[in-house]
Structure 1
Amino acid sequence: MSLVIRQIAIDGFRKFRTPFLIENLSGGLNIVIEPNETGKSTLLEALRAAFFVRHNTRNQLAQSFAPYGEAVGPEIKVSFDVDGSPWSLTKRFLRSPSLEISGPLGRAQGDDAEARLNTLFGSVRDTSRGGDVSTYGALGLLWVAQTEALAVAGPGQIVRDTIASTLEAEVGSIMGGDAYRRVRQRIDAQYELYWSPTGQRRGRQNDARERADAAIAAAREASERRAALERSFSDLDAARGRLKIIQREIADETDGQTRKELVDSREIARAAAQILSTRKAEQEAAVAKLKGLEDLKSRHAAATISRDSATTAVETARVKRAELREALANGKTKVATARENLEAARGERHDTRAALAAGEQAIRLSRRQMAIAAARRRHDELLKLEHLHGETKARAATAIPAKAIEALEANDRAVNQAQAVVEAGATRLTLSGAIQGVTIDGEPMPVGERTISRPASIKIGGTLLIVSPPAAAASAEETLAAAILKRKSALDELHVADLATARSRNEAARDAAAELRTLAARVEAATPADDTLQIAAGADALKLFVAELKPEEPEADAALPDMSALTAAVEAADTKLARAEGTQDSAIAALRRAEEADAPLALAEAGAVSDLANAAALLKEIEARPEWATLDVDLERARETAAQAAVRLVEAERNASAHDVGAINRKIEVIDARVRVAADTRTRLETEIARLEGTIESEGGLGLADRAAAAQEEVEAANSALQRVTEEADTLKLLRDTLESARNETAAKFVGPVAKRAKRYISQLLPDCDLTFAEDLSLASVSRTGVDESCSNLSRGTQEQLAVLTRIAFADLLLEQGKPVSLILDDPLVYSDDGRLDTMIEILTEAATRMQIILLTCRDRAFRHVPGNRIVLRAAA
């Protein structure tokens, strides 16, 4: 049974914010080649949503269908054929959700339509939040989204069951037969009372557990309330005891006396701290004054040293620069002389090169005049050859086609044959002797033989003789006349007198054609390329050049210059210039060396002069200050003052440390906090005592002990029921698992037929390759040259190719059972090399003869040559 999707209409689904329509899908290979972000993957998601996602769900997957930032109801319409019968569905999500399906069985809506879709495509209801493709049945395996085919995976349970039922007769298994199904249905019916399809507890187990949990919670609550009442009595006694202790602490006056003493000590400590601040300021002022005087003295000493060093450096630099002055003067003189010599050499070289250029120009002019004369001669020869070529071409054009010659020869043969026939059937008369008075048809009859082809009257004297030739002679003569007329007409059309003339004209034309080739060679030889005149080869170039020439001027008779002498003069001037440049470079280098030796000395002298001036100015400034005259006495007095201030500071610090204001404040704060906490505690305890007294009064008469006992009995009964239900559930699960295990053992028998069908595809891609399938029908490994390779260790490209091929094999198996099958591949074969890509395309093209295949790809270069129905994604009009 084939599934053919014919038309898809989408509105308000993810990126398709406006209505979008795809139609004219064929039942074979359909190819959609569009760039990224065009909506190819969204198209596949829309198809999955239309066929398999419940219309009234609001799970995470359905919420993602709405375009970002828009509150609309995504709508999908699909027209498709199942086994040749037309179907259509319209599904809307989120806002006013709805589903309507129509087909051979009529129309259905809502949940009935969902059930009909599940029955048609072998799918089950999907209860997951993000969409579970394993619940989609065969199409969940065959509609492959991006990257889903990058790893080889087995089909879901629904597909495995379908394939198993297809192959049961082939493998000879009874598992899955009527007896098995009846037993399995009974067990599944009981199993569903205790377990969900995914193995989670539900139904009776959940009811028993909820009863046990409720009983435990009630018992716990009763026990907690009884324990709380008992704790209330003990808490009340404890609170009353703590209240008595707090009241005694509040009545104690020790903390008040201690706080008063601490306040007195804090005042003394504040006075000591003020004295310490004063001593620190005095000490800092004395130290600052001492540092200032010491700095002044050290600056004066440093300036004196700098002045002496700068004086020595200036004298040294000036002595060394005096030694270099003569070398600098000589270097400058040599550079000036070398510059003059270089300028003279350059002028001489310029003159010699100008003379050489003039000589070369004269020679080029002479060569050009000679080349022009030769070109004119070749042009005259060319004109003669072209005239001769025209005449010869006209003669060659008179050639008669071979078919015409053959026709002339056939006409000649026809005339000769007709003549022979006429002569063979005619009557021959021979006249000799006296011929006077002998006439034939009223005319004198000559001597000799005469052929008569028609009746003739011969009169001899008074006798009349009528000669009648055979009747066939007349038709032969007519045939001869027609042949002669046809020959004459053909000769007149060709303007020749006879066949010999035609042959002679053909021979002349053939000779002319041969002569044409000779003339063409002579023209080519007469029109070579000329580099001197820049003329290309060929008659047209030569004609164009001669046509553009001015009237010929008489050649100058002046003798050509001696190029050897001019070249020698240029070489001598170049040598002289090179020597002058070398001499100048040498002089400049010598001057540069002298300047390089003088430059650091000049810098050193300038720096030393600057340092000397700065040191002198600094000394002058320091010695001009008023404290300079008594600096030594003031410095000694400042040292004594600083020492006395340090002693007074140490004494003040010792007094301040004995009375720490911060420590005293902290002790006072501790006493105040203790008093506040005691008061707050007394208030809290009085509140707690009142609350406990109220609780005991309200809870004491409720019979909490009896309630706790009854709740415990309910717990025991609920636990007993839970244990019984759990044992029943575990027994059913064990029985079901045992049946499933036996069924899986039988399912292993299906691996062989599946491998056989898949190998005919995979052998095209991987020749001499054996396949190994797991019990869940997933491709486990491949064997090449005796080496087994796990599919997970193969390259990404090979895994993707094998995943596509095994899906085609499963599709063939499902087609055998009559299941609706189509194959959709989103961006397939992204890791395939060129060779394997061509092989995969051949396999897909062949598979498209049995089922509908839709390729969604962005790789135009890889798929543009593939024959198939091309689909373009465009918004609906």
Structure 2
Amino acid sequence: MSLQLRRISLNNFRKFREPLTIEGLGEGLNIIIEPNESGKSTILEALRAAFFVRHATKNQLAQSFAPYGEAVAPEIEVSFDIGTDSWKIAKRFLKGPQVEVTGPQGRAQGEDAENRLQALLGFVKDSSQRGDPTTYGALGLLWVPQAQALEVTAPGSIVRSSIQATLEAEVGTIVGGAAYERVRKRIDEQYDIYWTPTGKAQSKGRWQAARDRDQQARQTAADATTRLDALEKSFGELETARGRLKVIERELADETEQEQRAGLVQSLEIARAAAQILETRKAEHENFSANLDRLDDLQSQHEAAKEALTAAGESLTAITADREQLADQLEAGRTKVVEAKAALDKARDDRATARQALVEGDARLARRQRHAAITDARQRHTELLDLEKQLANARNQAAQVIPAEAFARLEANDRAVAEARAAVNAGATTIELTGDATGITIGGEPLTPNSPRTLTGETQIALGGGVLVIRPPATAASATARLAELLERQELELAEWDVADLAAARTRNDTARDAQGTVQLLETKITGLTSAQSLLNLAAGPDALKLFVAGVPAESPAADEDEISTDQLTRRLEEAETVVVRAETLHDQAVQDLREIEDRDRPLAAAQAGAERDQTHASDRIAQLEGKPAFAGLADAIAKAREDVAQAAVKLAEAKRDATAHDVQAINRKIEMIDSRARAGQTRRGDLEKDIARLEAIIESEGGKGLASLAAAAAEEADAATQALARLDEEAATVKMLKDVLDEARAEASRTFVGPVAQRARVHVERLFPGADLSFDEELGLASVTRSGLNEACGTLSKGTQEQLAVLTRLAFADMLLEQGMPVSLILDDPLVYSDDGRLDLMTEILEEASQRMQVILLTCRDRAFRHLDATRVQI
């Protein structure tokens, strides 16, 4: 039976930080085509998490569900059908984890929900950190994440067991019947004590306790041995340190290096004297060179000043001629600006006059509008007073309503009176006389014939000379007293509300309720009548209207009867604005023209000032240079300075040769090396003395603790724990061997399954590889393909071919699982990425056919490859 996914909702799951809902998944082929990184693979991972990852787990896989850098609770909700039954699962991870499964049997939560889901889909609990798809059962094989279909892999143990169960009818009973099952059950019970379903050692129980004991005992023995070895090592280290200390002290007592140091110090004094002479020669050479440079610079400055004076004079002559040509244009431009400014001022005055006229017109119009608004306010005030009178009367009538509690008491009293009267009538005695009543009295009064009377108490009837005493039942008297009490209570209630009876009270309440409706209507009218008036700054409400009318003095009719045309005044203002704009434009243009002329004149003026300044500076500089004492006889002084520099250079070269005979830095390095060795020896001696003191303290402290005895006892305990663990290891290995033997026997027989499996897979593969023969291994994994007599291992085929075979073998397994009635659907994430056009068309045709037997969902980013398929298309 096919598993049909209907609806998927995600929130706070990896990249989907906001809620996402996918609906409209159909029964056959479904295609979700979205660009890369839009979340297709995340949706498949969310489905596997919802079905197979337990809600309370906090392993690495569950931690990866939360969006990066956010501490939130990932939530998943999936609605699906299995056969004719509808199911729904809602799961939340990490923060406040919870799960709820809803199905035909009702709702289940927590571990009950996980167990129900596990039983429904046929998978086992996953205890790995990153998720183990082999524990997911059939859907773990058929829901294929991105790139995992690029290799042909064998189905997990759960799927293999299901397929074997499907094929047992074809190949017969594999291993014995009831006896095999009993033996297998007993071995499985023992196996579960030592091993997990995945073949790993149990992490709890007596075997783990033995391992813990063995590990602890080994650790204790190792610690004792380490401490004993450390003590023995301390003895050796102490002797070694003492020997090294003697060597260091002997080296420190040797005076050979001190004699070498004294000779180096004497050579250092000679080298320093030669260096001092060298520094003196360098200073003399630098002084002569500086004097020569100063004289050369004085000569260069004088020549540069003469050149600058000539250039400044030429530039000043040219600039003066250019400025004279612009003088007339500047005068004309200034005159034009003055005339434009006068026209602009007149236009602005005219505009101000027009604006003032418009303001006065608006004020007159506003006064007229205010007068009309005041008149309207007075009229509304008159209507308001009339409505308020009606409202007061209506409220008085509405206030007469009898509260529900009091009315309920009146009704209850009325019912009680009626019930009491009925009780009185039921318990009283009724008498009636027919015929002649002469001489018969009742209670001293003549008895009227044919007139029934009800007797509630003892009554005497005179009959001639005798008296007839009638005593009704005692209940009649109590009922009468009860009736009297209720009548008195009812009269008090009616008197309190000033009504004659219950009918009058009802009439009064009906009138009051009608008055309440009238109150609401009048209040609505008053609200509409007392709306706000912005022109008068009048707020909404009756009080505001009354206050306004009271504060406004009586006004005489408006005396301003002249016609006011604000439109005409506005047009005049607009015309004045246009004139101002034209005048401003002409003024701005005149200013711009003048500014352009001034812009051309300004750099010329600046250049003229600069040229005059340069001419003055050059003249001053020449006079300054020629006034210096050194300028007289400058050529002879330069020649003499060059001779001094040459002689100083010769003396400097001789001083350099003398200084290189003794290297001060090399001598200093040798002296520092000798001093460093001495300091290192002193430091090493101090360190060795500290190490000797530390080792003597350790030996003194640890020597008296009997470490040898403790190490021997710990070794004995470790041997005992090891032997106990070995016995349990042997038991565990024996149980595992028995289970493996049974599994091998079953596997040997299960090889008979390979034929039916290959036959089913060949139905699909032959369409892709006509005439090909398939070989499956014991794990039902496709091992090789034989084409044209050539056998090829699956691992040597191209990635495209491996992916195609992986999809086809999964389809074969899905068909077998469908035969067994297991819930099956196929989801492929980015399938057939390495297929050529021909094989892609054939594979899509096979997938379309498979979608007629089960739900198939394709997650892809390639619109062109799958756009031609007839499928339900869903968007993220």
Alignment TM-score, normalising by the size of structure 2: 0.54
1:756 corresponding residue in structure 2: 759
Structure 1 residue 120 displacement after superposition? 1.4
- Provide closer, same or farther for how the CA distance between residues 791 and 696 of structure 1 changes in structure 2, counting only shifts above 3 A: closer
| 1:165–1:176 contact (8 Å) kept in structure 2 | no
Aligned twin of 1:267: 269
1:340-419 alignment to 2 at 5 Å?
A: none
1:243/1:184 Cα in 2 relative to 1: closer, same or farther (>3 Å)? same
Identical-pair percentage:
63
**Distance (whole Å) between structure 1 residues aligned to residue 653 and residue 787 of structure 2:** 96
Alignment of 1:421-820 (within 5 A): 659-820=662-823
Aligned partners of 2:760, 2:252: CA distance in 1, in Å? 97
Aligned to 2:48: 48
Find the counterpart in structure 2 of residue 183 from structure 1. Answer: 183
Report the Cα distance in structure 1 between the residues aligned to 2:68 and 2:221, rounded to whole angstroms: 52
8 Å contact 1:187–1:732 — kept in the other structure?
yes
Report the Cα offset of residue 69 of structure 1.
Answer: 4.2
- Residues 435-465 of structure 1 show CA distances to partners (whole Å, capped at 9, x for unaligned) of xxxxxxxxxxxxxxxxxxxxxxxxxxxxxxx
Query: In 1, distance between residues paired with 2:786 and 2:251?
Result: 92
CA contact (8 A) 1:2 1:84 kept: no
Closer, same or farther in 2 for the Cα pair 1:31/1:706, shift >3 Å?
A: closer
Would you say 1:854 and 2:857 are equivalent positions?
A: yes
Kindly tell me: are residues 649 and 745 of structure 1, through their superposed partners in 2, closer, same or farther at Cα, counting changes over 3 Å? Answer: farther
Structure 1 position 751, deviation (Å): 0.8
Post-superposition shift, 1:279?
A: 8.6
CA separation in 2, counterparts of 1:722 and 1:285? 96
Report how far residue 762 of structure 1 moved: 2.6
2:409 equivalent in structure 1: none
- SS of aligned partner of 2:31: strand
Match of 1:421 in 2: none
* Contact 1:34–1:873 (CA under 8 A) maintained in structure 2: no
State the Cα distance separating 1:162 from its structure 2 match. Answer: 1.0
Q: 1:213 aligns with which of 212, 215, 220?
A: 215
Report deviation, 1:753. Answer: 0.7
Once the two structures are superposed, what CA deviation does each residue of 1:279-336 show, in whole Å capped at 9, x if it has no partner? 99999999xxxxxxxxxxxxxxxxxxxxxxxxxxxxxxxxxxxxxxxxxxxxxxxxxx
Question: What code does the residue aligned with 1:800 have?
Answer: E
Q: Alignment partner of 2:21: what SS?
A: strand
Q: Find out whether 1:75 has 2:75 as its counterpart.
A: yes
**TM-superposed deviation, 1:826:** 2.6
**Is residue 20–residue 874 contact of structure 1 (8 Å, CA) maintained in 2?**
no
* Cα distance in structure 2, aligned partners of 1:790 and 1:226: 60
CA distance in 2, matches of 1:789, 1:235: 67
CA 1:15–1:845 in structure 2 vs 1: closer, same or farther (change >3 Å)? same
Report what 1:28 is aligned to.
28
Secondary structure of the structure 2 residue equivalent to 1:149: helix
1:7 aligns with 2:7: yes
SS at match of 1:54: coil
Q: Is the 8 A contact 1:215 1:714 kept in 2?
A: yes
- AA at the equivalent of 2:50: A
- Tell me how far apart the structure 1 counterparts of residues 771 and 254 of structure 2 sit (CA, whole Å): 104
**Is the 1:21–1:874 contact (alpha carbons within 8 Å) kept by the matching residues of 2?**
no
SS state at 2:123 partner: coil
CA shift, 1:247, in A, is 5.1
Structure 1 residues 218 and 148: CA distance shift in structure 2, 3 A: closer
Kept after mapping to 2: 8 A contact 1:62/1:94: yes
Separation in 2 of the partners of 1:68 and 1:716? Answer: 50
Residues 183-192 or 74-83, more deviating: 183-192
Taking the aligned partners of 2:786 and 2:249, their CA distance within structure 1 comes to: 92
Note closer, same or farther for the CA distance 1:178–1:829 as it changes in structure 2 (3 Å cut).
Answer: farther
Kindly indicate whether residue 826 of structure 2 is the aligned counterpart of residue 823 of structure 1.
yes
Give matches, 1:233-312, under 5 Å: 233-236=235-238, 238-240=240-242, 242-243=244-245, 246=248, 256=258, 258-274=260-276
Cα-Cα RMSD: 3.9
Q: Is this contact kept in 1: 2:33–2:875, CA < 8 A?
A: no
**2:34–2:875: 8 Å Cα contact kept in structure 1?**
no
Rounded to whole Å, the distance in 2 between the matches of 1:3 and 1:740 is 31
d(CA) in 2 for partners of 1:644, 1:45: 92
Q: Which residue of 1 aligns with 2:136?
A: 136
Indicate how the Cα distance of structure 1 residues 262 and 105 shifts in structure 2: closer, same or farther if over 3 A, else same: same
- Structure-2 separation of matches of 1:796 and 1:16: 32
User: Aligned partners of 2:272, 2:102: CA distance in 1, in Å?
Assistant: 100
C-alpha deviation, 1:79, in angstroms = 1.5
TM value normalised by structure 1 = 0.53
Q: Which residue of 1 aligns with 2:84?
A: 84
Change (3 A) 1:743 1:664: same
Q: Which residue of 2 aligns with 1:155?
A: 155
Q: Secondary structure at the match of 1:700?
A: helix
In structure 2, distance between residues paired with 1:251 and 1:713 = 54
Equivalent AA in structure 2 for residue 750 of structure 1 = F
Q: Structure 1's 74 and 686: CA in aligned 2 closer, same or farther, altered over 3 A? A: same
Aligned-partner Cα distance in 2 for 1:245–1:795: 73
Distance across 2 between alignment mates of 1:255 and 1:761: 94
**Map of 1:58 onto structure 2:** 58
SS of corresponding position for 2:743: helix
Indicate how the Cα distance of structure 1 residues 675 and 105 shifts in structure 2: closer, same or farther if over 3 A, else same. same
**Structure showing greater Rg:** 1
Between the aligned partners of 2:705 and 2:240, the Cα distance in structure 1 is 24
Which residue identity does 2:669 align to in structure 1? R
* Offset, 1:67: 3.0
Q: Cα gap change, 1:218/1:81 in structure 2, threshold over 3 Å: closer, same or farther?
A: same
Do 1:212 and 1:719's aligned partners in 2 also have CA atoms closer than 8 Å? yes
Return the alpha-carbon distance in structure 2 between the equivalents of residues 825 and 224 of structure 1: 58
Deviation at 1:35, TM superposition (A): 4.1
Cα offset for 1:699? 2.3
Comparing 798-807 with 116-125, which one deviates more in the overlay?
798-807
Q: Measure how far apart 1:258 and its partner are.
A: 4.7
CA–CA distance in structure 1, aligned partners of residues 837 and 260 of structure 2: 98
* Unaligned runs of at least 5 residues, structure 2: 289-643
Q: Quote the Cα distance in structure 1 between the aligned partners of 2:31 and 2:166.
A: 31
Q: Which residue of 1 aligns with 2:359?
A: none
